[in-house]
Homo-oligomer: A and B are copies of this chain.
Amino acid sequence: MTNGNTEPGESRGGKSTLASSVYQQLRDDLLRGALESETKLRVEWVVSRYGAGASPVREALNRLAAEGLLGRHDQRGFFLMPASATELEELTRTRCWLEERALRESIAHRTAEWEEQLVLALHRLARAERRLPEDPTTNNPEWEKLHRAFHRALIAACRSHWLIGFCDQLSDQASRYRLISQSAPGVARDDLGEHRIIAERTLDGDADGAVEALLDHYRLTAAICIERFAQGYDPRAGASKARRR
C-alpha cells in the first residue's frame, strides 16, 4: 500500500518494465473511470487490451489489489471494487481525518521552499481549464493532474511520507467516485475560489481556517457525488442479476 509509499513510476532514467507500464496504464484508466462498465477484470481481457503477456499483467493486477484499487479472491481473479454511497461516506470521513492532521503538521513545520511550491501549484491549477471545450461531459485529464498536485503540495511538509502515501491512496479512491458520478451535468461550483481560499489561509498560517476550508471542500464534493448516487445513477448499464460471492 501503497501503499504507503511513493509509487515511483520509474520515470527518471531507468527503463520501465512491462509490468510497471501496464500497472500505470491500468491505474490511469481506473482513476479516469474508463473501466466502470466492467465488473470483473479477466486477465485475458487485460492482456489483449494492453498488449502484454499474462505474467506482467498479473503482477500489475496484484499491485493494484494490494493498493486497494482492485479486489481479489483466490482462484476467482480480480474485480472492480463496487462503488456505494456508504463506502464513499466512510472514505470521506477517513480522508478528512488524515488530511486535517497532515495540513496542520504541514503548516506547523512550513518552510519557504514548501510555500513556494504551493503558490506554484495553485497558479498552475488556476491556468488549466477544468473541462475541455470540445467535450464538456468529461474532465480535462491535465486539470486532474494539477488538482491532485495542488492537494499534495498542501500537505507536503507534514514530515511523514507514510501519511502522504495514505492521503494519496484515499485521493485516488475519491477521484474514482468523482469521475464516476460526473456523467451527470452537475451544479455550477467555484472550484478555483475554494482552492484559492485554502491556499491563502494555509500561507497565512491560519491552521484552523485552512482546515475548515479544506474539509468543507472535501465534504461538498462528497455530498454532490452522493446526491447523484441517490438519483439512481448506476454505472453498469445492462448488468445481470445478483451473483453469489
Contact = CB atoms under 8 A, between A and B. Distances in A.
Interface of A: 1-5, 8, 10, 14-17, 19-20, 55, 58-59, 62-68, 73-76, 90-91, 93-94, 97-98, 101, 105, 159-163, 165-166, 169-170
A94 B160 contact: yes
Nearest to A72: B8
A163 B62 contact: no
A25 to B, nearest CB: 15
Contact of A91 (B66, B76, B91, B162): B162
Given A1-B2, A4-B68, A63-B63, A163 B16 contact: no
Given A1-B5, A10-B74, A62-B63, 14 more contacts: A1-B3, A3-B66, A3-B68, A4-B169, A5-B66, A16-B74, A17-B74, A55-B55, A59-B59, A66-B66, A93-B159, A97-B160, A162-B170, A166-B166
13 contacts: A3-B3, A3-B68, A4-B67, A4-B170, A10-B73, A17-B75, A19-B62, A59-B62, A62-B62, A68-B162, A68-B165, A94-B160, A97-B101
Nearest to A90: B160
A65 to B, nearest CB: 8
A94 B2 contact: no
The winner among A20, A58, A66, A162 for most chain B CB atoms within 10 A is A66
B2 A67 contact: yes
A164 to B, nearest CB: 10
Nearest to A18: B74
A24 to B, nearest CB: 11
- Closest 5 pairs (CB-CB, A-B): A1-B1, A1-B2, A1-B3, A66-B66, A1-B67
Contact of A74 (B20, B67, B105, B165): B20
Contacts of A162: 68, 90-91, 94, 170
Nearest to A164: B94
A101 B66 CA distance: 24
Contacts of A17: 74-75
A101 B161 CA distance: 18
A73 B14 contact: yes
Contacts of A68: 1-5, 162, 165
A183 to B, nearest CB: 26
